[in-house]
Structure 1
């Protein structure tokens, strides 16, 4: 009898615990976080009844100085959440400007994403949540009710690298049903990125869709290759399958990628309806991709009429010994003498590469090589690079 009573007691305790667990689960699922309010403040919530401290960190908060392998850099600040009686922690921001922001939570010292927000981005090996505050330039980062282009992942043969490689390609609205030929922008990622970086972190397809719909940019194809020559595809998407992405990968800035870049152009011009001439080719990139842009456009000096260097990683490198980097000034002058329509340089005032870019502009000035220069607030961040793309693409193919 005692065993039966004990069994019944444990049975009802189990049911009670299960119901409480389900209630907690459903309460957590019903939480809205982040909530962008009408006054542009944003409310963050996290159900963590057993936590002793919860913080939110993200680029919507004032920056703080952080020590990194690349030296002191601006990093995201932190804010404390307040715990409610229902076990839900909450923080309300100040009114925020129009922008795409990223954030994560810190629970008792452990950094984690927001379980109530399914929208995340991966930057190298870090995954963070995102949200958009509209009403300005960030409307270009949103999906609006307009005609949309297509984004495909293709594989191309690269004889120069001895492998098939994965590439991301945006085609403008109407490409599939038209017979028109289009100009091409080759858009290059930075260190730690891959063929997914510009489409996911850079919001390339949303930006192009919106600018084309507004008549501010010409319909164009955007080609986003993988600049890591030892990879055939992004981590989890290539033959090495799933492994942790790294910031710097061997051979990314030794001339191998630039020397084999013709393989990308040949694939695009053999498989897409493009205008295969200098006047209809542009190349741009951020950080390492800006370094690649500088050298690809110089190494093939009569190939591109439009160049964009976004926070370009212009710095001396011990491994920059390949043929691509020889005769630097002579080939740069040849590029200038051949003529082009736009050489566009942009960087943030607090970017750790600011001095290197200033030195490069001094070299161009001494050569009397024409360029346009844009200086923005902030440092080496995607917030700047997305904006640079919105500024650069309307200048192309006009």
Structure 2
């Protein structure tokens, strides 16, 4: 028998086995009467979760709508299906995991999932007016391109995501640019997957609430070439410093300013060379959340006049180590030096009332007020969450390039 016939026989056996196993699994499920629907969004916006785990000892739900460390207990039915029901949830996007006998897993009945750094979670969207802005609606859609570029500053070939608005490919028009930075633990994928930035812009542009713009979503981890899913080798973490980092003061400051320097020296020149942009400060905006907000402040305040629009989400001026080094050596001197003469069109600050960065944000607001520098402040419910950061982007984008 030649090799081709052998391969055909093996393939036929595989298909037959697959069909038989699938039929047996379906028959077993039908015999047991097990039909699992999860998640099920109820009419009052509560959610019922279900998991078939006949031999499990305990199952809970860990969800982004709950406080850190809290879990929702699931109860086991006679059919081996564990279930739990939440209280009514506000319209928004949420992520969750099942904790099965101490092990975090995705919801096997839910095809919608996302990645946040190295963590994967199932997702759901509670419909309503507040979540309409990031739903996939029947409107013209922009495009996201994964762009590789050289970064001489970081000595790496790196990747960023670039959103171009509907109509970009078929026009000769030039567009303003928003540089949008993620938080700690995230990467260039974060603002599109968790933040749903492209859908927010699609919907706002379609409604005439925001001007068509290019959005550049970078990887703010100076030691990484791209997201963890595309690492060919482990990044050299010694090249980047963060909270709790070792090293002398100057090394920590240098580590925290590496990406802002690369943004100015590598990213912006690349975008303005390869895309149809209006390359002036009145058509250049920057915004970031958490770590990205720190990088936003470093970039904007170290380069006054580069951006006419600055957005700070969930971070301010902080004095916990090692952020005190940046605050005392870069931010406060820059604010004191430049705020009197800066003529920015918008300085936007957003923070949740329960955010652990709330105090530092108030310090930032006091510094702005000290210099009679006007800002737009959006204080929301909740904490350091994507639910808030989507709100801030949806509020910030319509204010740009007016």
Normalising by structure 2, what TM-score?
A: 0.84
3-state SS of the aligned residue for 1:350? coil
Structure 2 residue 270 is matched with structure 1 residue 267: yes
What displacement does 1:46 show? 0.7
Distance 1:18 1:373, change over 3 A: closer
1:349-360 matched pairs, under 5 angstroms: 349-360=353-364
- 1:253–1:320: 8 Å Cα contact kept in structure 2? no
Specify which of 80, 87, 98 is matched with residue 87 of structure 1.
Answer: 80
Distance 1:330 1:140, change over 3 A: closer
Distance 1:151 1:83, change over 3 A: same
What displacement does 1:389 show? 0.7
What displacement does 1:384 show? 0.8
3-state SS of the aligned residue for 1:337? coil
Distance 1:165 1:24, change over 3 A: farther
Structure 2 residue 358 is matched with structure 1 residue 348: no
* Uncovered stretches (5+) of structure 2, i.e. residues with no partner: 1-19, 246-251
Partner Cα separation in structure 1 for residue 208 and residue 168 of structure 2: 16
Question: Greater CA deviation, 329-338 or 40-49?
Answer: 329-338
What displacement does 1:318 show? 4.0
Q: Once the two structures are superposed, what CA deviation does each residue of 1:143-165 show, in whole Å capped at 9, x if it has no partner?
A: 11110000110011112112211
Structure 2 residue 160 is matched with structure 1 residue 167: yes
2:62 matched to which residue of 1? 57
- 1:183–1:220: 8 Å Cα contact kept in structure 2? yes
Partner Cα separation in structure 1 for residue 380 and residue 226 of structure 2: 32
Structure 2 residue 389 is matched with structure 1 residue 385: yes
Partner Cα separation in structure 1 for residue 169 and residue 281 of structure 2: 24
Q: Once the two structures are superposed, what CA deviation does each residue of 1:208-259 show, in whole Å capped at 9, x if it has no partner?
A: 1111111111111100111111111111224427999x99597695211122
1:100-115 matched pairs, under 5 angstroms: 100-115=93-108
What displacement does 1:86 show? 2.2
Over the residues paired in the alignment, what is the CA RMSD in angstroms? 3.0
3-state SS of the aligned residue for 1:260? helix
Partner Cα separation in structure 2 for residue 57 and residue 135 of structure 1: 23
- 1:301–1:332: 8 Å Cα contact kept in structure 2? no
Report how many residues are paired.
Answer: 370
Distance 1:327 1:380, change over 3 A: closer
1:12 matched to which residue of 2? none
Distance 1:289 1:332, change over 3 A: farther
3-state SS of the aligned residue for 2:170? coil
1:1-12 matched pairs, under 5 angstroms: none
Distance 1:247 1:22, change over 3 A: farther
2:8 matched to which residue of 1? none
Distance 1:24 1:280, change over 3 A: farther
1:133 matched to which residue of 2? 126
Q: Between Structure 1 and Structure 2, which shows a larger proportion of helix residues?
A: 2
* Uncovered stretches (5+) of structure 1, i.e. residues with no partner: 1-15, 64-74
- 2:309–2:345: 8 Å Cα contact kept in structure 1? yes
Partner Cα separation in structure 2 for residue 352 and residue 43 of structure 1: 30
- 2:162–2:215: 8 Å Cα contact kept in structure 1? yes
3-state SS of the aligned residue for 2:256? coil
1:268-283 matched pairs, under 5 angstroms: 268-283=271-286
- 2:242–2:256: 8 Å Cα contact kept in structure 1? no
3-state SS of the aligned residue for 2:168? coil
Question: Greater CA deviation, 284-293 or 88-97?
Answer: 88-97
1:366 matched to which residue of 2? 370
Structure 2 residue 309 is matched with structure 1 residue 306: yes
Partner Cα separation in structure 2 for residue 260 and residue 347 of structure 1: 27
